[in-house]
Amino acid sequence: MEKTITELKDLRAQLEIEVNERQEELALTEYAVNVEEVKNVSAILKQIDKSYTWDIKNAAFLINLYDTLTTQKKIMLNDKEGATTIALNSLQLNTLYTVLTNITGTGIEAAKLFTRLLTNVGAQISDALNEMADNNKTIQGMHVELAELDRSIEEASKPEVKADEIEYTK
């Protein structure tokens, strides 16, 4: 059974509301990254401060990440149970990944320290990024549905011309 234009538009409006709600929800989602030890947060902060070259495009993101990590480090230091998990939103998680994959340094000792840091927290960051990617796939699927509804609405909106309505003029 074919849906009417009104039904298609109603479906689209409802789906658009769902997409917006899901996007807002994902913007607020925090991803857990177990850093194993407080000293790993200290090492990340040091890498950001001493070894990362920032520019105008990422300075604000970098500051946000640094401030968040500093706050979470303080919380970890005051936690009597020895918590080692930090919570990052999607923007902070992406910034952390970008920073860690673009660190430059000099000297073998710096390379060893950095490699140990990546060994300690790299898998946890990858897991959090995969979780975020799965969430984003859901949104992408919803956008595909919206595009399909748009095509259906456009197709249903085209006037139907019947053969007996066509006039030939000479």
What is the distance between the alpha carbons of residues 19 and 107, in angstroms, rounded to a whole number? 48
- Is 21 part of a structural domain of the chain? no
What is the distance between the alpha carbons of residues 25 and 88, in angstroms, rounded to a whole number? 14
- Is 140 part of a structural domain of the chain? no
pLDDT for the residue numbered 168 = 58
- Is 35 part of a structural domain of the chain? yes
- Is 36 part of a structural domain of the chain? yes
- pLDDT of 170 > 60? The answer is no
pLDDT for the residue numbered 104 = 87
Residue 3 φ/ψ, nearest 5 degrees:
-90, 145
- Is 163 part of a structural domain of the chain? no
pTM of the shown model: 0.77
What is the count of structural domains for the chain?
A: 1
Domain housing 99:
30-131
For residue range 102-160, list pLDDT tens digits in order: 988 889 998 998 999 999 899 999 999 999 999 999 999 999 999 998 998 888 888 77
pLDDT for the residue numbered 159 = 75
CB 138 within 8 A of CB 18: no
Instruction: Give which of 37, 60, 160, 44 is closest to 103, Cα–Cα.
Output: 44
Does residue 81 come out as left (phi exceeding 0), alpha (psi in the -120 to 50 range) or beta? alpha
- Is 160 part of a structural domain of the chain? no
- Is 146 part of a structural domain of the chain? no
Alpha carbon distances (Å) from 129 to 5, 89, 143? 40, 11, 21
- Is 169 part of a structural domain of the chain? no
